[in-house]
Amino acid sequence: MSTRSRGKRLATGITAAVGVGSFAAAGVAASAVYAATPSVIARTTPVTDTSATQSSTPKSDDDNRGTTKNNTSRRSKTYGSSGGTTPVQPGSGSTVHGRSSGS
Amino acid sequence: MAGSGRAAPGAAGTWTAEHTSHADNTASPDNTARASWTVWELEASVTVTDPELLAAAEEAVRGVVAAIDLACSRFREDSELMMVQSRMSQGVGVSPLFRLLLERALHAARLTGGDVDPTLGAELAALGHGPEWQRPGLTSIPVPLQPAPPRRPSVPRAPGWTRLNLDASTLTLPAGLRLDLGATAKAVAADLAAAAVHQALGCGVLISLGGDLASAGAGPRADSGPGQWQVMVQDLPADPCQQVSLAPGFALATSSTQKRRWKHQGTEVHHILDPRFGLPAEPVWRSVTVAAPTCLEANAFSTAAVVRGFAAVDWFRAEGIAGRLVDSRGRVVTTGDWPADNGSPSLAAGGSSHAGGGRRG
């Protein structure tokens, strides 16, 4: 199956389910999205010491997983360049691909 | 953001965007292609490194956004959030996606020491930011900052997020608290959409949902090899702008006190609430932009910086967070690895006169 076909199938699966408009159908779409999540969203640990408040906040299984890496799509936690790629550098002046403004 | 704005899942008229055809599908010299449309009253866009995959990528992004909107919108009666809201005090089961959104919102709360709190729905509604909100307030029109926000309560609000209980199967929220997942959900949507496109299609992708950007896979081609995503950072047209290179796999988010403003009892208010008081944070910063590994983190930090005010500079520097903060006079402060902007009056690299201020000024 070509990548294009796989992409279309994923998109169709999600949008069709949502398009039905029923709660149950939305659940199907949600599951499809969720299923693709753990391996691609970096799990991080807090950078702020919130131990005083965390003790009263139940931690979900998800929050106990620690950092999950996918070497091709996500990087492990780093807010600076130490130990990893510098997230942002001066622009090249070439074609702009996206804009970031407040919302 | 501590309180999500209209620019978030569930904004009225969200899926009028479904009928808005994207008019600027374009291919660029670096062989990327971009499509854009309107969602949540904001611009959404997807840029891919293989133009052949653009249509499939857009379709996938729209699907992810639609699923999240249906899960957590405060602005549609058929969302899961609205359907279970009244029963949360007794404990309710939630869908996998809704659970994920809750987990991510709680993660943002922990990252920021509670400055981003997902339980400010009631406070936002009390300020007039809810389903009954009138459309004229939706547009992002700059308005004069008001010196006198609504009076703060004498006793700080008890943190709501620490009272949210999410176990393996049940969500419980004390009566009186209302969820608002809007902002973190938008960031999560960008993360999920980028991941979904890359996973399904294999190309590099940059997603933008109202200025919250997430990327996955390889960056665009450059003469010297793999390139980086070029992003223009600017809140309003009169604000200082800066073009930056975003490393593939990273994300960027901007929070603003200049947009999503409306009048409440004669006073201009904005949508980023200080959880301690349930009222708009003092607008020390016009906007704050952060780069981080995920859009959720970038959004959490940028929102929390608005809440923390001047103290955010020291916080960002201590944590090594790459941030760009624009103050009320348009001066720029950068932190972490954020590059100095030679074209604007940057106060970068520790030279900021702002950094000594206390929390919320």
**Domain spans, chain A:** 1-45+64-73
| Predicted local confidence at residue A89, as pLDDT | 94
Inter-residue contact B81 to B166 (CB < 8 Å): no
Q: How many residues does chain B have?
A: 361
Inter-residue contact B232 to B241 (CB < 8 Å): yes
The answer to whether the CB atoms of B164 and A57 lie below 8 A apart is: yes
Mean pLDDT of B30-43: 89
H or E element, residue B360: none
**Nearest residue in chain B measured CA to CA from A94:** B230
**Nearest residue in chain B measured CA to CA from A14:** B63
CA distance A83 to chain B (A): 12
Inter-residue contact A89 to B243 (CB < 8 Å): no
| Predicted local confidence at residue B347, as pLDDT | 44
Hey, what are A82's tokens? 């130490």
CA distance A68 to chain B (A): 12
Mean pLDDT of B109-114: 95
Hey, what are A13's tokens? 């699966």
Q: Which residues of B touch A82 (CB under 8 A)?
A: 320
H or E element, residue A80: none
| Predicted local confidence at residue B302, as pLDDT | 96
**Model confidence band, residue B269 (pLDDT cutoffs 50, 70, 90):** low
In angstroms, rounded to a whole number, what is the distance separating the alpha carbons of residues B6 and B182?
8
CA distance A57 to chain B (A): 5
Q: Report ipTM for this prediction.
A: 0.79
The proportion of chain B whose per-residue pLDDT surpasses 90, expressed as a percent, equals 57
The answer to whether the CB atoms of A92 and B113 lie below 8 A apart is: no
Is pLDDT larger for residue B153 or for residue B208? B208
Is pLDDT larger for residue B206 or for residue B130? B206
The answer to whether the CB atoms of A92 and B228 lie below 8 A apart is: yes
Blockwise average pLDDT, block size 10, chain A, 103 residues: 48 36 36 44 34 32 32 45 77 91 82
Q: Is the pLDDT of residue B41 over 90?
A: no
Q: Which residues of B touch A12 (CB under 8 A)?
A: 59, 63
Q: Which residues of B touch A2 (CB under 8 A)?
A: none
H or E element, residue B229: strand B229-233
| Predicted local confidence at residue B157, as pLDDT | 77
Is pLDDT larger for residue B59 or for residue B26? B59
| Predicted local confidence at residue A33, as pLDDT | 53
**Nearest residue in chain B measured CA to CA from A3:** B201
In angstroms, rounded to a whole number, what is the distance separating the alpha carbons of residues B46 and B214?
10
Chain A from 3 to 62: CB within 8 A of any B CB: 3-4, 6-15, 17-19, 21, 23, 26-27, 29-37, 40-42, 44, 46-50, 53-54, 56-58, 60-62
| Predicted local confidence at residue B160, as pLDDT | 87
The answer to whether the CB atoms of B192 and A41 lie below 8 A apart is: yes
Q: Which residues of A touch B222 (CB under 8 A)?
A: 92, 94
Sign of the CA dihedral with A37 first, then A42, A47, and A52 last: positive
Q: What's the mean per-residue pLDDT of chain B?
A: 81
In angstroms, rounded to a whole number, what is the distance separating the alpha carbons of residues B144 and B151?
19
Q: Strands B229-233 and A98-100, how do they pair?
A: parallel
**Nearest residue in chain B measured CA to CA from A52:** B113
Per the DSSP assignment, residues forming a β-bridge with B279 are: B274
In angstroms, rounded to a whole number, what is the distance separating the alpha carbons of residues A21 and B351?
54
User: What does pTM read for this prediction?
Assistant: 0.75
The answer to whether the CB atoms of B67 and A90 lie below 8 A apart is: no
| Predicted local confidence at residue B324, as pLDDT | 96
CATH architecture of B14-137+153-335: Roll (3.10)
**Domain spans, chain B:** 14-137+153-335
| Predicted local confidence at residue B14, as pLDDT | 33
The proportion of chain B whose per-residue pLDDT surpasses 70, expressed as a percent, equals 76
Q: Is the pLDDT of residue B292 over 80?
A: yes
